[in-house]
Structure 1
Amino acid sequence: MSTKTKTETILVVMNVIAWITFIGLMIEAGAILVTYGIGLANPEMVPKLYKGMDWVNLRQYDVWYYSGIISLKAAILILEAYTAYMVIKVLSTIKMTNPFTMQVAKKLENIAYTLVLVWVAILIYNGQLKWLAKDVADLDGKMLSTELIIYAGLVFVISQIFKKGVEIQTENELTV
């Protein structure tokens, strides 16, 4: 099995994993929004809904804060799903005959910016939860955000490497 075939196989597997991630995140975001809608219509159902997200105390404390937290959580999941979708686009764009294209570099850069946006949204979400926990009992659901800024930096560096690869590739084509 040649190196090229192994690389192409890895890209196909990564594409499948990205699709699974995208679909899973969209289902989770949809489930949270449906749970939110049912919870507004029938508050008694809130503790029995999505993954045991028992935010009855928050809903009883203030519907607007409850709506804000649910909206932030759904927005984070949708942004993560969008990131997975952008990864799918990158993986379907990369061609092993000419991997360094400005299109791929730009998509990678956009992924990095989206990851930073997700990180900021998670920081806001966690801050809001911490602030609300002072007044609302049994409020949990903190999301981890530390790894996202590292991933964003890594993807940004890779996008810059791709841009440099495009420059070198263009230079070589002009020289020949």
Structure 2
Amino acid sequence: MNTKRILKILHVFAWIALIGLSIKAGAIIISYLISLGNEEVAKDLYEGMNLIAYKQNSLVHYSIIVGYRIIQFSIQAYIAFLVVKLLSNLNINKPFNANALKWMQTISYSLLLMWAIVVAHNIHVGILEATQGIKATLIPSEFVLIAGIVYVFSLLFKRGLELQYENDLTI
């Protein structure tokens, strides 16, 4: 399988991820709004996300915890959007360009932001578990490693862009 075909397949997967994550963020927003009037909805907010204990304890904490999730999925959708842009405009003959570098850096910063949101969520539910006795549902936070890897790739892209520019000047 050649590189162009692989990039096209990845482009399709990125679009699927973008659409799926956007639907997920939107579904959580709608479910949250419905749950404000119907407490039963908080038992299965979205795909088994049971936040009824938080809602029964405090509407403010419930809203903040749902907000963390909405922000998390929105950032993931934004990252998928950036990947779509990156793959749409990637020229395999001259892969090192300023736009690709900008998108890769933005992806790494977005992953880092998502990690910070997840850490804030996990600290928040941990405090609620300690003080209110509500069983904490933590979100995995491996995003910092992924953000670091993408950032290193963006640095490599930056160096590749510099070398490509120098090479263009010598020709």
TM over 0.5: yes
Give the superposition deviation at 1:158. Answer: 1.0
Distance across 2 between alignment mates of 1:155 and 1:37: 35
Q: More displaced, 106-115 or 36-45?
A: 36-45
- Look up the match of 1:165: 160
- Look up the match of 1:100: 96
Please give the TM-score of this superposition, normalised by the length of structure 2: 0.93
The answer on 1:153 being equivalent to 2:148 is yes
Distance across 2 between alignment mates of 1:50 and 1:105: 35
Per the alignment, do residues 135 and 39 of structure 1 end up closer, same or farther by CA in structure 2, a change over 3 Å counting? farther
- Look up the match of 1:118: 114
- Equivalent AA in structure 1 for residue 27 of structure 2: A
Cα deviations across residues 102-143 of structure 1 (Å, max 9, x unaligned)? 111111011111110011110001111111123445534311
Per the alignment, do residues 32 and 136 of structure 1 end up closer, same or farther by CA in structure 2, a change over 3 Å counting? farther
- Look up the match of 2:30: 34
- Look up the match of 1:90: 86
- Equivalent AA in structure 2 for residue 171 of structure 1: E
Give the superposition deviation at 1:155. Answer: 0.9
- Equivalent AA in structure 1 for residue 146 of structure 2: Y
- Look up the match of 1:70: 66
Runs of 4+ deviating beyond 4 Å: 135-138
Distance across 2 between alignment mates of 1:123 and 1:165: 34
- Equivalent AA in structure 1 for residue 126 of structure 2: K
Distance across 1 between alignment mates of 2:129 and 2:55: 13
Q: Report SS of the residue matched to 1:51.
A: coil
Q: Report SS of the residue matched to 2:96.
A: coil
Give the superposition deviation at 1:96. Answer: 1.1
Q: Sequence identity of aligned pairs in percent?
A: 36
Give the gaps of 5 or more residues in structure 1. none
- Look up the match of 1:51: 47
Distance across 2 between alignment mates of 1:92 and 1:131: 43
Superposition CA RMSD, Å: 1.5
Q: Check the 8 A contact 1:22/1:85 in 2, yes or no.
A: yes
Distance across 2 between alignment mates of 1:16 and 1:62: 42
Distance across 1 between alignment mates of 2:50 and 2:103: 38
